[in-house]
Structure 1
Amino acid sequence: MPTASQRLPRRARLALSLAAAFAVPAFAQDTATAPRADKPATLQTITVTAEKRVEDMQKVPISMTVLPADKLEAFGQAGDGVLQLASRAPSVYAETSYGREFPRFYIRGLGNSDFDLNASQPVSMVYDDIVQENPILKGFPLFDLEQVEVLRGPQGTLFGRNSPAGVIKFESRKPTQETTGYARVSYGSLGTANAEAAIGGALSSAWSARISALAQHRDNWIDNTFKGKNDDLGGYNDRAVRVQALYEPNSDFNALINVHARWLDGSAMVNRANAIELGEPSFVPGFDRDKVAQDGNNKQHLFTWGSNLHLNWKLGDLNLTSITGLERATTYSLGDVDGGYGAVFAPPSGPGVIPFPSETADALPKDRQITQEIRLSNDQTERLKWQTGVYYFDEDIAIDNFSYDTLANHALNDWAQQSQRTKAWAVFGSADYDVTDRFDIRAGARFSHDKRDFSASRVFGFDGPLSPLTAKPTDARWSGDITGSYAISDKTNAYVRVANGFRAPSVQGRLTFADTISTAKPETITSYEFGMKTLAADGKLRFNADIYKYNMHNEQLTAVGGATNVTQLLNAKKTEGYGAEFDAEAYLTPNFIVTAGGSYNHTELKDRNLAVAICGSGCTVLDPLNAQGNALINGNVLPNSPKWIGTFTARYGIPYGDNGEFFVYTDWNYRSEINFFLYDSAEYRSKAFLEGGLRLGYNWDFGKREVALYGRNITGKEVITGAIDFNNRTAFVNDPRVIGIEFRAEL
């Protein structure tokens, strides 16, 4: 009779072998500080709310990574925003073409490279239990957080629509009756300054509150040689605040209100004209990250604010929860898209060949999102645990797309408008039954209904005014999951999970350079996952690993750019993915803790007739072309989908005196080569990238005071992080090395 592993598909067995191979040298997940040598070095229990109730992470049968607050602080020391999560957890990548706003996340290769302000994403981001639907909302800074939970794979039962790739959950620190707080300030190269503080405690026996604030600044550091301006671009001022109040008159009721806001001013993405060498994914000779030569304007402004109210009642053996959310956003982002100056028909021009000038802006004059969830559950100690609920989502959004004539004193020459009203609702339920003391079954289902009312028009420009073009896609469908988990021992659990999910229909209508809108049918996914979670070595080692395989039908893809200079929504008949992931964490000595994680992700498009426009900038296309000159992309990997991701941290402390410690902390993350577009070319890809950080410091008063030197991108590595392909070989580049000093104090 074949063993369980022999009954797995061949590719799944390969992925399991890779996960095992990963485990040999590695240990992952993190804790704040190493204990003193005279104290036991055991890993703390990590509690999560991945299934909307508090549980031990080791008991939750889902592939997940938890990033604690101290890791987030280390990663973000140089002012990095939410994009710092790229490659910091297995199978997770992120990128942007907007600068500090509009992050695009990918899990297991599934994401969306669309740059439209109306773009939907298959990775759902949930901040304090409120889904952040619009990509502008997803960029809210990371500060005063308890932790970040990364849930890999479809989460269709409890999180619903637009989560077929997974969910990233952000949990703020909540108010308590205990007075707590901290202040953290740092200053580094490029004028990089960060100030962060929080304080909270009791207002009365029933009321407590917490206020948190963040301010991040960087000087302009990029010279514009065409305008003759030193330090002209690259800077920002990013500020955010969160105020929370908790009312808890007794053990049967509590109410938490959260109000938050963000203000951002600075540079939009800085594009680099003809920075990519023809025939290879490398910078052209003489490329200088500190310099550009641009004649277009560049600026970015963003304001978002929101509020949410959590109400919890304990009704005997039942628990009733209500979560109400409001989010609003406005933004204006302007950039020199061609990344250079002049044009071939208006010399002088450069760097390299600039076929025509391109200076565009996107504005979000209105984005209003209302959400409501009501959930009923029974006592968590019951043998049969269940929860059921209803969900409502209402979004109203307006978008302006602008184009400017750089050569005519930046006159507005194209103006298109989009509007969309989305209403969605769902009912869901899940159950968790302890069949025996060791065997557990979890299952759930959700019915979702989604309706959009979309309109796009052109005020003037291109081929003249264009009357409104409309679309009203509607969809209703089931999603769900079933999981069986078995406790091999008190410290080791194995599970098998089958889940499906979907992304609702999408509409695309950027009419500044097009006369049509495009729509995409709903995408659906079915995922199969086998995993193990274990705590070993007397609590000194935690190791979690899984293998997975998914099949996606009608994946929503965006053909971005190309020679036609438009974005177009497409559906691929089938997309296949499989891989392996692991997380581990271990104390090697009482004062030496190491963490690591890794993933292997294979993605492949399977649609023999699917074709997209190729570059209009001159590039070496590696795909076969059809009769119309478009690239046939069957068999290609998904854009921004690294095959390998690895992350590693290590912290070593040397106790000094009665309550002090010298320490060194380092973190490294690696991702393999990625392709930027749906078609494959020699130029439009990013080479493998290894980035490191370092902290050297001293803390005292039992860790309540700390001073440290830090470095981010300590090797100074330059890498192409993205590109624009319709005008010239325009590149985006990562930030340079930043070195600084930081002081932190806690109450």
Structure 2
Amino acid sequence: MSQRFHANRAALAGSTILAAAAAFAFAAPAAAQDGESAASEEGQLATIIVTANRRQENLQDVAVSAEILDQGRVDTIFSAAGDVTALAGSVPGLNIESSNGRVAPRFYIRGLGNTDFDLAASQPVSVLLDDVVLENVTLKSFPIFDVERIEVLRGPQGTLFGRNTPAGIVKVDSIKPSHETDVRAAMSFGSLDTISLSGAAGGSIVEDVLAFRVAAQLQRRGDWISNGFTGEEDVLGGFTDFAVRGQLLFTPTERFSMNASVNFRDLDGSSTFFRANVLGPTANQPTNTNKLNDNYDRDTVFYDAGGGNKANYQQFGVTLNTSYEFDFATLTSIGSYWTSEGSSRGDVDGGFGASFLPVMGPGFIPFPSDTQDSIDLEQYTQEIRLASNGDGPLSWQVGGFYFESDFDVTTVGFTFPPPVTVNHTNEAWALFGQLSYALTDSLKVTGGLRYTDDQKDFFVVSGAAPQPVSVQDDQFDWDIALFADVSDDASVYAKIANSFRGPTIQGRDVAFFSAPSVAQSENITSYEVGFKTELADRRVRLNGAVFYYTVEDPQFTAVGGAGNLVQLINANKGEAYGFELDSAFQITPEFLVTLGVAYNNTEIKDNALAVGICAQCTVTDPTVDIGGTTRALVGGNPFPNAPEWSGDLTARYGIPVGNSGEFFIFTDWTYLGETNFLLYESREFNAGSRIEGGLRVGYSGNNGEWELAAFARNITNEDNVLGVVDFNNNTAFVNDPRVIGVSFGVKY
């Protein structure tokens, strides 16, 4: 790591570690599942608070297409020890997948994302934990637990949140310390030896001056996948994932507050399990198809390599959030330091050489396709923001932001010695501001502007000798929105926003004798019109938006193919349009239904863009010969991993028992429509409609102080293809199987 990086973070580390580490002295187990309805006592829908404008505001008053997942929904989603990718489809327009197991998830909003599997990959969806950007893909996988809410903000967010947000933001807010005593604990036990334990404790140390909160989560699953090559049963697939968060809140006066937090994670588990030749024809199924064929067995893989597909990671973060309230404005400082260190290994081809059985195995692979990628990362961020106070017609905020990361990525091919280590550094800074003015009692205009300078450098540390690479860009992001109340219960808005993703360097192929690739910045301009309504005395909520955006020089990643390369490319242009509708219906005080749907039509606008293709699949795009290599012309194709249709449905019904008890039933379903996984189109490497559902039935007693429930995730045991590898065989990776279990939680 660079000496400059250590010098820049020293001030934060020295001032926060002592205070934050003290939080560990109060360690206790974490949050119980909140099975209560989101409705108020009057049988109305609860007010939804968002922080899309870095302030707490009613969702119905903000010109943004957003959906919120509250504590109860989040706890249910992760009840079977799921990782971050379990959020896929829980918000219409949101997709998440990973070919690195429980680390390095890839996010997509409104169809815009990146399929790059490298640990240095850049994404157009930003993930924030307690207002701190988790930029690297491994940090984005930090477990979600003891949270107040998750906000999914669709569309460009570049003014207040910076570069690398042209698609949107997933914003996770943890439960903060308070002076009210809060003790929670929950445990669940399910099939596949699945265990999830969580707990939290918080309260006052010095009344009205010093408060604490500590939360922890342990997720575990036993080995459940057999290796058909070695004949060993139930030797793969298990994991142990532990995370803890400690916080101290210091409020010596009414005007000053300081929250110091520490986050830590230790993962000992499995990377993704690739399954060779499970797409396309077999002897019994001669038709080329994208459906899982009769080679597929969820409980069995055939591996002669991969070392058990192990993934081991440790992550650590320290954050100091300080604010002081002046008479006219509030000054906020957020400084944070994060590290991520670990590795994941996999049998990438999902099989072994030409001897794979049963019949119709992969093409000839003259070596074990066995790779391991590891990372050693440090990230430092600092934000200072001054935001106006008061309820006048004018509100404003200005600020500055600094970002620095330094990390090494080591790739081991095992049969391609020596290992190669490359270094990536990224330094960025920004100045931003936003003004909002109420032109009348019912019409408000908001505008923002942000200037960002982004610098990235790359060099090879050991194992190869390509020349260093540097890229730099500086740009303005901007947005303007009009928000109008058309009645007491309905509003409309219009918004134009511009945002960019900084230039990117991809160096993984250096380990396989190819030069690094570079993609220049991509720029998005988005047009959006929406409405917000609450009807029937706040028992019905209907929020919707229609959008159109263009992306100049969109960054894509050409992955896999016969050469199994990872190359960054820019298309000339991308285009998309669609809509989102989020709704909630409080049918009775005991019966709540939510329904969301999104339509995204994406298209690559570049008739000359040609990419490498698979060695064995059936490509349906036009092809050209370039230097003796067949390539597919991908202009007109959809963006990868961008289903046109997506949606979610939840329903909760409660039956009161006595004065303080309730029997309840809750179900949730997600839908992702037809999806193309790669830049080129083929008969095999795409998915039909995918659906998954969950069910929770239980009893809550003593006004919610305890709960006993039975649950199921992926209740219909769907076999859904989540992604593919197109290197010499029709390899896919799939979703988790059904997990059925019981849970018990208490809170005080």
Maintained 8 Å contact 1:334/1:359 = no
8 Å Cα contact 1:199/1:211 also seen in 2: yes
CA pair 280-332 structure 1, distance change in 2 beyond 3 A: same
Matches within 5 A, 1:451-490: 451-456=455-460, 459=463, 466-490=464-488
Deviation at 1:85, TM superposition (A): 1.2
Cα offset, 1:690, TM superposition: 1.1
1:467-546 pair list within 5 angstroms:
467-510=465-508, 511-546=510-545
Give the aligned partner of residue 14 of structure 1.
none
Query: How does 1:180-219 map onto structure 2 within 5 Å?
Result: 180-205=182-207, 206-219=209-222
The Cα of 1:682 is off from its aligned counterpart by 0.3
- Deviation per CA, 1:518-577, whole angstroms, max 9, x where unpaired? 101100000000000011111111110000000100000000011122111110111000
The alignment-based identity, stated in percent, is: 43
Write the mapping of 1:422-441 to structure 2, written as runs, cut at 5 A.
422-441=426-445
1:364 Cα deviation from its structure 2 partner: 3.4
AA aligned to 2:423 is S
TM alignment of 1:361-372, pairs within 5 A:
361-372=371-382
Rounded Cα–Cα distance in structure 2 between residues aligned with 1:348 and 1:341: 12
Inter-partner Cα distance in structure 2 for 1:626 and 1:468: 29
Aligned runs of 1:401-416 on 2, under 5 Å?
A: 401-405=411-415, 413-416=417-420
Match of 2:271 in 1: 268
Asked if 1 retains the 8 angstrom alpha-carbon contact of 2:264 and 2:315, the reply is yes
In the alignment, the residues of structure 1 paired with residue 318 and residue 417 of structure 2 have an alpha-carbon distance, to the nearest angstrom, of 38
Partner of residue 224 from structure 2, selected from 221, 231, 235: 221
CA contact (8 A) 2:269 2:310 kept: yes
Which residue of structure 2 aligns with residue 578 of structure 1? 577
Aligned partner of residue 169 in structure 1, secondary structure: strand
Counterpart of 2:302 in structure 1 is 293
Q: Is the 8 A contact 1:329 1:364 kept in 2?
A: no
2:82 paired with 1:80: yes
Whole-angstrom CA distance in 2 between matches of 1:727 and 1:381: 63
Once the 2 structures are TM-superposed, how far is the Cα of residue 413 of structure 1 from its aligned partner? 2.7
User: Do the aligned partners of residues 197 and 347 (structure 1) sit closer, same or farther apart at CA in structure 2, a change above 3 Å counting?
Assistant: closer
Shift of 1:650: 0.2
- 2:594 counterpart of 1:601: no
With normalisation by structure 2, the TM-score equals: 0.92
For the residue of structure 1 that corresponds to 2:571, the secondary structure is strand
Specify the alignment match of 2:548 in structure 1: 549
Residue pair 2:606, 2:635 contacting (<8 A) in 1 also: yes
RMSD: 1.7
* Count of equivalent residues: 703
* Residue identity matched to 2:701: W
Counterpart check, 1:233 vs 2:236: yes
Unaligned runs of 5+ in 1: 1-29, 406-411, 460-465
Q: State the alpha-carbon separation in 2 of the partners of residues 183 and 300 from structure 1.
A: 28
**TM-score under structure 1 normalisation?**
0.92
Question: Does the CA contact (< 8 Å) of 1:362 and 1:399 recur in 2?
Answer: no
Q: Give the equivalent residue in structure 2 for 1:132.
A: 134
Hey, what's the Cα distance between the residues in 1 that align with 2:164 and 2:390?
28
For the residue of structure 2 that corresponds to 1:158, the secondary structure is helix
- 2:456 and 2:663 map into 1 onto residues whose CA distance is 57
Query: Helix, strand or coil: the match of 1:71?
Result: helix
SS at match of 2:75: helix
Which residue number in structure 1 is paired with residue 174 of structure 2? 172
For 2:72, the equivalent position in structure 1 comes to 70
Deviates more, 1:272-281 or 1:531-540: 272-281
Q: Which residue in the other structure is 2:401 paired with?
A: 391
Aligned residue type for 1:577: A
Q: Contact conserved, 1:355 with 1:728, CA < 8 A, in 2? A: no
Check conservation: 1:552, 1:575, Cα contact below 8 A. Answer: yes
1:236 Cα shift? Answer: 0.4
Kindly indicate whether the alpha-carbon contact (under 8 Å) linking 2:423 and 2:461 is maintained by their aligned counterparts in 1. no
- The DSSP-based 3-state class of the residue aligned with 1:702 is coil
Indicate if the aligned counterparts of 1:325 and 1:371 stay in contact, CA closer than 8 A: yes
**What are the ranges of 5 or more consecutive residues in structure 2 without an aligned counterpart?**
1-32, 282-287
Report how far residue 31 of structure 1 moved. Answer: 9.5
| CA contact 2:532–2:544 (8 Å) conserved in 1 | yes
Instruction: Determine the C-alpha separation between the residues in 1 that align with 2:39 and 2:72.
Output: 18
1:58 corresponding residue in structure 2: 60
Q: 1:380 to 1:414 in 2, by over 3 A?
A: farther
Task: In structure 2, give the amino acid aligned to 1:182.
Answer: R
Q: Give the aligned residue type for 1:612.
A: V
1:159–1:34 CA distance, 2 compared to 1 (3 A): closer
Contact 2:275 2:296 in 1 (8 A): no
Contact 1:78/1:738, CA 8 A, preserved across alignment: yes
Tell me, yes or no, if the aligned pair for 2:353 and 2:362 is still in contact at 8 Å: no
Shift in Å, 1:286? 4.5
1:82-97 equivalences in 2 (<5 Å): 82-97=84-99
Q: Which amino acid in structure 1 is aligned with residue 688 of structure 2?
A: K
Matches within 5 A, 1:307-346: 307-343=318-354
Query: 2:253 aligns to what?
Result: 250
Query: What CA distance in whole angstroms lies between the structure 2 residues aligned with 1:657 and 1:138?
Result: 44
* CA drift at 1:726: 1.3
- Deviation at residue 36 of structure 1 after TM alignment: 10
Aligned to 2:413, what secondary structure does the other structure show? strand
Give the structure 1 partner of residue 18 of structure 2: none
Note the alpha carbon deviations across 1:688-737, whole angstroms, 9 max, x for none: 11111001111110111100000011111112111111121111011111
Once residues 163 and 235 of structure 1 are traced to their aligned partners in structure 2, the CA distance between those partners, rounded to angstroms, is 34
Distance 1:53 1:380, change over 3 A: farther
Query: How far apart, CA to CA, are the structure 1 residues paired with 2:297 and 2:165?
Result: 40
SS in 2 for 1:570: strand
- Secondary structure of residue in 1 paired with 2:206: coil
Structure 1 pair 286–556 and aligned structure 2 pair: CA distance change class (3 A) = closer
3-state DSSP class of the match of 1:249? Answer: coil
Q: Does 1:283 align with 2:292?
A: yes
1:611 corresponding residue in structure 2: 610
Three-state SS of the structure 1 residue aligned to 2:670 is strand
Distance (whole Å) between structure 2 residues aligned to residue 302 and residue 469 of structure 1: 30
Instruction: Provide the C-alpha distance between the structure 2 equivalents of 1:467 and 1:508, rounded to a whole number of angstroms.
Output: 15
Q: Which amino acid letter does the alignment assign opposite residue 218 of structure 1?
A: R
Deviation of the 1:173 alpha carbon: 0.2
Contact kept in structure 1, 2:353 and 2:368, CA below 8 Å: no
One-letter code of the match for 1:290?
D
Whether the 8 Å CA contact 1:513–1:565 is kept in 2: the answer is no
Is the contact between residue 276 and residue 282 of structure 1 (CA under 8 Å) also seen in structure 2?
A: yes
Give the equivalent residue in structure 2 for 1:5: none
The equivalent residue for 2:621 is 623
**Alignment partners' CA distance in 2, 1:229 and 1:121:** 38
Q: Write the distance in 2 (CA, Å) between the matches of 1:395 and 1:31.
A: 37
Q: Distance in 1 between matches of 2:39 and 2:251?
A: 36
**How much does 1:356 deviate?**
2.9
Alignment check: 8 A CA contact 1:469 1:517 kept: no
Which position in structure 2 is the counterpart of 1:677? 678
The one-character-per-residue Cα deviations of 1:93-115 (angstroms, maximum 9, x if unpaired) are 01110111111000000000000
Give the match's secondary structure for 1:157: helix
Deviations, residues 395-438 of structure 1 (Å, cap 9, x unaligned): 00110011123xxxxxx634122101111000000001011100
**Matches of 2:313 and 2:412, distance apart in 1:** 17
Equivalence for 1:17: none
CA gap 1:233/1:545 in 2 versus in 1, 3 angstroms: same
Q: Is the 8 A contact 1:722 1:731 kept in 2?
A: yes
Give the Å deviation of 1:457: 6.0
Distance 1:615 1:153, change over 3 A: same
Q: Give the Cα separation in 2 of the matches to 1:483 and 1:675.
A: 33
Q: Is the 8 A contact 2:151 2:171 kept in 1?
A: yes
